[in-house]
Chain A
């Protein structure tokens, strides 16, 4: 049972344009969501998070949007840079001290 889904396995975006990565979840108990970035041969790196009491959180070029009624969140990267090319994972949990459930990841390729 895949409780967190990333339906796009890959995405290609031109440098300078917006990258939008999507994530859907089924467990209504999830109340904390995170995005991680992963380069080959490295562990995932925390990017940005959002709790269910908010619908938007912004950090520099990264913004996460949460639509609780649709059980959907998205990560926007503006502007996209070649160094953003990596695999992005969406993760969810109940409370900040909980175990995390991860999606299967989206591979982002930012082209010149």
Chain B
């Protein structure tokens, strides 16, 4: 049983570019949450998708957007990249939005130059 998978594992972009990160949830999970983890910090909640809709959002600008597909997989899009967007982006899936069932993927490390 595959856990949460994320692609790509690493990515290098330049300021002003756009990036799309992908996440496949653990089998049987229907909720996807995205987190940003800057160096030396804890993960920060970006948003959560359930039933293909954004259900909750953290304190991130509109440059951060997402999507959930009918198969529950999800994408995170970041427009107009800034140097400060360099971080590890974690995807977590859960069942019926229950955090105690939440599994994290290994993350995508984004470097913005």
Contact = CB atoms under 8 A, between A and B. Distances in A.
Contacts of B48: 99
A2 to B, nearest CB: 9
Nearest to A38: B104
A46 B106 contact: no
A8 to B, nearest CB: 14
Nearest to B6: A43
Given A41-B106, A42-B106, A43-B92, A99 B100 contact: no
A43 B45 contact: no
Interface residues of B, number: 25
Contacts of B106: 41-43
Interface string A21-54: 0000000000010101000011111100100000
Interface string B1-13: 0001000000000
A73 B50 CA distance: 30
A85 interface: no
7 contacts: A4-B42, A32-B99, A43-B107, A44-B90, A99-B33, A99-B58, A104-B42
Interface of A: 4, 6, 32, 34, 36, 41-46, 49, 89, 91, 93, 96-105
3 nearest interchain CB pairs? A43-B104, A102-B42, A97-B97
